[in-house]
Amino acid sequence: MNILVLHGPNLNLLGSISAQLGKRITLDKINTGLRRHVRNSDVTIKITQTHKVFQALNFIQRNRNWAQGILFAPMAWANYEYSIRDALKIAAIPTVQLLFSGGFHGAKKDNSIFSDVCTSTIIGTPEQIYIDGINALRENI
């Protein structure tokens, strides 16, 4: 199974956000945890983080025939980025939306413009929702 992981804007600063909350979570640690989780399994992942919409669109469009699933942490895009929403809808790849809670720019499922085009939404802290998202894709595809 091939899975795309798309980290939205400002997630490269996750370490700064988590430090303010007294935690030690960075994007590198999340990516390492994801790679470790899928090691020795049938899952291959491609990971990118961007602030730029055109790069996110290119990532989805260029990999649409390769991927069987997408993990997507939209961050601020959850409020306004309809071009990414359209790309996900057109690509028709099962997508798990990851929304942070617990002080990490909290969001609610009904506040995201992506909720109706995603297979499911997982809300929680970054330490666990990425692993839960991989597991959800593996169970539902």
Q: Could you list the beta-strand ranges (E) of the chain.
A: 2-7, 44-49, 69-73, 95-100, 120-124
Q: Token match 């980290």: residue?
A: 7
Domain 7-74+84-122 of CATH type 3.55.50.30: no
Please write the tens of the pLDDT for every residue from 95-108. 999 998 754 455 55
Q: Where are the domains of the chain?
A: 7-74+84-122
User: How large is the greatest C-alpha to C-alpha distance in the chain, in angstroms?
Assistant: 41
Number of other residues whose CB lies within 10 A of the CB of residue 60: 22
Q: Is the pLDDT of residue 46 over 90?
A: yes
108 Rama sector, left if φ>0, alpha if ψ -120 to 50, beta otherwise: beta
Please write the tens of the pLDDT for every residue from 84-96. 999 999 999 999 9
DSSP per position, 91-119: HT--EEEEEE-TTSS---GGG-TTTTTSS
pTM of the model as a whole: 0.90
Tokens describing residue 86: 């359209």
